[in-house]
Structure 1
């Protein structure tokens, strides 16, 4: 007879003693709030720091402690890392990485400049951004524009190994930050606007060898789902869950990019991430043989996957048969929330479609799905009736139903625009208040699909967009506090432009973020009251971070306008329809800021 008590004890011991349940080096570094060891602050993706030297009472006294020019213009997304006395800085293309000595006036210890063919810039969708490097076991992991995944020696900057993740000649590019989990480096890929069938890949941390790859759509063996064990809304996904929701072989050019930030639960051994838009943007070219919409699974999806095998535990599709490029790549955030009087381990996600979702992170049960932007008009809500055949799906407003969006027909007044009610700029979860702090957009659009032919390496978009401010609001964005358990806005602070900067919360009671016109701001987490602002040299699309050095807390952020919202300034574009309509939507931004590329660090006097 098997002694189950002995087995349980052995499993419990293994969980405590075996570092394989998470990368112990990353765990230990991120537990020390003096470091900023992961792009998202921790494996849960909370972007919350326990540092509390800077408080609501003294944050107004912040001064610029030091600045650093990256030497590169264009959009500076992501943020630096701090490990001990060294800060690791990255840039947009050409994806330079530098190590700065914080003990000696930020002296450059080493500088790494990857060799890339500059032609890759032509296939980068929405600026030449890079969302950050990661650190583990003495290595800096960099995902370059040409899709190379590089491991650099953190002490010297020398290349340790290199893996090629995709083919830029087919339209694949690298813009996302990798994540190190256990002995693996997990990385996604861009290319949905070029008809690339995208995927998430795990590489061995020590050798760079590919361990597994999970495609966003295709046969079960490619997307790594078990028809009977992978769940969606409480039911097995079934055989060929993806193939039967595409017309013919269109899944082979199906998109579903995976360039967003990820989160990891070491207890469940699950990694969480989102997939993006199906290709093409013209929904009329993606209908089924009967001319009716089909879901195009698994684009626009949150996946929970086993890190060891890549097999999907559960999946949820936010926007089936996406019509408006509502990419589902936005970051997942893990927390424990009180829902209906019970503590639930959850994952929360603010989708571009305008809904804030909360799921049970183990099962994928949908717990909350509410609009975090009240201006959203393409849908009236999410069907939360478990007995309904449309359970978990958005309720489409008749004006915007797919049958109304044929080729060369312009649909006007869709809110949000393809920029989304929130784009890649990550939200933060404060363990102090139990609230989420979310950068948002209030931009609407007119959308005209047109017929497009697929050619490898050429744009496969198929839509012309015109963007403009949402009606009845003078501001293009807001910074909000969100109650993830109740699905409601607690407070909202309006901003002139979309808030394209990642948020940071701290134990000092502050939420930090930046604005497109270049202000770095601090607000009270409980009230939204603005306590500090400083105009940096350029618009901020980077993510605020904090660290401790020499007994002093610093807060730092990149400034360098760009990304999709700032592409007009970053790339010198003037046609209002360029940047998929963003140039026209943000034409007035040039009156407030200019291009740049720098890091600004703040501290108390």
Structure 2
């Protein structure tokens, strides 16, 4: 059954029926081969699911370390390697080294690319010097460097084929996200919401690097590439000037809405999906209005860039609940009929299920019971506030005014989940979600904009929910009912990406450095191994020489680990994370390593 659903989700059957016009032929074919891992999320649908099943719930307890590789770089290692045939491509945080390893020849380094970047980009990288991975297509490896350079490397030699600048680090724009190749274009987002960047997603020509289209998150209709009549939100046209009407004056020009998360793609519908981040500044008093289209799910035509539909999850954000987390595509039965679904676990603590063909909102429920800033989303389609979360006044950071410290808000600014991607198993039809179980105090203050300088305007502290000591859970979620099926507490936030497999095993990593394997149906822990450093990387699987391997990058850092990564000690530093995760120093230290596991031969 899972193979049918898997193929349907990718639109493979449709593509075969109507010809190759609907997607990049090479990648659609390659992602069907479970021996490889050809894009950061495994497939266009962002499912992070492997059809390999040599490793099962019955034998995973026998896993052993097969080999390791040091990246030579410290600080936070997010993302994971690609595997194309006999070659593995491993990336690092700044300075963004890429290694090509020959898996058929003792993992020999075939080539190494190390860009020369101005180290002045480091201070303008919010929340560590991370990079979420490279992409592959057309014999090239695509890397988005910290300095916003998008570079195409020859996959065989590492030679630079072309490069293009995607933003201006001098004004606070940086590159942390992974590209996605769709047909003849490379799509990439941008970081810089804490510096007042007007953020965007941009499509570059696959062969030349020429800019094809750029869609901003906020601004005039032509800049955000919406049609006032044809682009809809919850079934209604967005109307003329849908974004600039919701900003005061020219505030949209420094409005944030950054796009440093994950992109997904449905070849059959020819739609690309992604989320936008927080509006700038973090002080909500300084930007009255809904601040559209920050905190928004976008569905766009990748050929033209035009938006088909949008849905803003957190209008007029008061908590930094970026909406950049991945959109997971699945074909499931919903309400007694087959539906093309999109599932999204937002920073704001709500798990959303939408119809990805038109943006119809089907489910919006809390995936951590401690979420308290909202009582829930108005699901009454006849209501004037349909689709909006109901904000509880006591947790509004604006109602008390500037310089008032609002306490006990759950989740914290890093959300019930940040960019660490969830996984979906077509076998169980469950989603496996790494979460943060963290609350905060939030004090906004007035801040003025200066290009290239932080534009935050809030002081935070973070801690576990009242009466509890653990800061994370790993959960199984039913996207049709909006319910948690099972939940595993973790001492710290679960900041790694999950992996579901056809062997009935789900993998994830912990901030202390453990790779863990659990039963997909019950959540029972089946295996764990402590790697050299805390894991914020994403678990992947591949097959080589008839053996299934599980691979993960360890290297503590990211927002949760920024205190360790950057040597910070002030509890309010790292936007509150340094104090919240101070105890991490008792369990792990900096490192950069790839650890690969397999069953004994």
TM-score when scaled to structure 1?
0.96
Could you list the per-position Cα deviations for residues 394-414 of structure 1 after superposition, in whole angstroms to 9, with x for gaps in the alignment? Answer: 011121246524111110000
User: Contact (CA 8 Å) 2:498, 2:507: kept in 1 or not?
Assistant: yes
Q: For residues 105 and 363 of structure 2, what CA distance do their matches in structure 1 show?
A: 49
Alpha-carbon deviations, 1:265-297, whole Å to 9, x = none? 00110000000000000011112xxxxxx1000
Query: What is the deviation of 1:591?
Result: 0.1
Of 274, 296, 305, the residue aligned with 1:301 is 296
Q: Is the 8 A contact 1:284 1:405 kept in 2?
A: no
Q: Does 2:81 match 1:86?
A: no
1:601 maps to 2:596: yes
Please report how far the alpha carbon of residue 18 of structure 1 lies from its aligned counterpart in structure 2 after TM superposition: 4.2
1:164 aligns with 165
Work out the CA distance in 2 between the residues paired with 1:451 and 1:582. Answer: 21
1: distance between equivalents of 2:188 and 2:452? 21
Q: Is the 8 A contact 2:231 2:237 kept in 1?
A: yes
Alignment pair present for 1:459 and 2:418: no
Distance 2:457 2:396 in 1: 18
- Report the equivalent of 2:8: none
Are 1:330 and 2:304 counterparts? no
- Tell whether the 8 Å contact from 1:339 to 1:486 is kept in structure 2 after alignment: no
Which deviates more, 576-585 or 331-340? 331-340
List per-residue Cα deviations over 1:45-79 (Å, max 9, x = no partner): 00001000000000000000000000000000000
Correspondent of 2:533 among 521, 538, 555? 538
Contact 2:396 2:406 in 1 (8 A): no
1:550 corresponds to which residue? 545
Q: C-alpha separation between the residues in 1 aligned to 2:360 and 2:19? A: 30
1:432 maps to what in 2?
A: 427
Match of 1:217 in 2: 218
Matches within 5 A, 1:337-356: 337-356=332-351
Moved more, 82-91 or 15-24: 15-24
Q: Does 1:180 align with 2:181?
A: yes
Q: Work out whether residues 397 and 443 of structure 2, in 8 Å CA contact, stay in contact via their aligned partners in 1.
A: no
Aligned 8 A contact 2:31 2:43 in 1: yes
Counterpart in 2 of 1:576? 571
1:113 corresponds to: 114
**Correspondence list, 1:389-404, <5 A:** 389-401=384-396, 403-404=398-399
The aligned runs of 1:157-306 (5 Å cut-off) are: 157-287=158-288, 294-306=289-301
**Equivalents in 2 of 1:580, 1:474: separation in Å?**
21
In structure 2, distance between residues paired with 1:297 and 1:369: 20
| Separation in 1, partners of 2:400, 2:549 | 50
Task: Describe the shift of the 1:375–1:23 C-alpha distance in structure 2 as closer, same or farther (beyond 3 A).
Answer: same
Partner of 2:313: 318
**Matched residue SS, 1:316:** strand
Question: Could you say what secondary structure the match of 1:239 adopts?
Answer: coil
**Mapping of residues 486-525 of structure 1, within 5 Å:** 486-525=481-520
* Alignment check: 8 A CA contact 2:319 2:397 kept: no
1:559 to 549, 554, 560: 554
Q: Which residue of structure 2 aligns with residue 131 of structure 1?
A: 132
Could you list the per-position Cα deviations for residues 537-595 of structure 1 after superposition, in whole angstroms to 9, with x for gaps in the alignment? Answer: 00000000000000000000000000000000011111101100100000000000000
1:386 corresponds to which of 381, 386, 397: 381
Aligned to 2:387, the other structure's residue is in SS state coil
Aligned-pair CA distance for 1:17: 6.3
After superposing on structure 2, the runs of 4+ consecutive aligned residues of structure 1 that deviate more than 2 Å are 12-20, 400-403
TM-score by length of 2: 0.97
* Structure 2: 5+ residue stretches without partners: 1-12
1:40-51 matches, cutoff 5 A: 40-51=41-52
For 1:149, the equivalent position in structure 2 comes to 150
| 1:340 Cα deviation after fit | 1.6
Q: Is the 8 A contact 2:397 2:444 kept in 1?
A: no
Count of aligned pairs between the two proteins: 588
Secondary structure at 1:356 match in 2: strand
Partners of 1:15 and 1:21 within 8 A in 2: no
The separation in 2 between residues aligned to 1:168 and 1:47, in whole angstroms, is: 32
Which residue of 1 is the match for residue 10 of structure 2?
none
Q: Report deviation, 1:471.
A: 1.4
For the Cα contact (< 8 Å) 1:382–1:395, is it kept in 2? yes
1:300-319: CA deviation from partner (whole Å, max 9, x where unpaired): 00000001000000000010
Instruction: State the Cα distance separating 1:13 from its structure 2 match.
Output: 10
1:574 partner SS: coil
Let me know the Cα RMSD of the aligned residues.
1.1
Separation in 2 of the partners of 1:274 and 1:406?
A: 29
For residues 590 and 25 of structure 1, the distance between their equivalents in structure 2, rounded to whole angstroms, comes to 45
What is aligned with 1:3? none
Which structure 1 residue ranges, 5 or more long, are not aligned? Answer: 1-11, 288-293
Distance 1:595 1:407, change over 3 A: same
For 2:471, the equivalent position in structure 1 comes to 476
Distance in 1 (CA, whole Å) between partners of 2:62 and 2:138 is 37
**2:401 counterpart (394, 402, 406):** 406
- Tell me the secondary structure at the aligned position of residue 404 of structure 1: coil
Structure 2 residue matching 1:315: 3-state secondary structure? strand
Corresponding residue number in structure 2 for 1:76: 77
Seen in structure 2, the aligned counterparts of structure 1 residues 413 and 459 have a Cα distance that, compared at 3 Å, is: same
SS of structure 2 residue aligned to 1:499? coil
Contact 1:20 1:183 survives alignment (8 Å): no
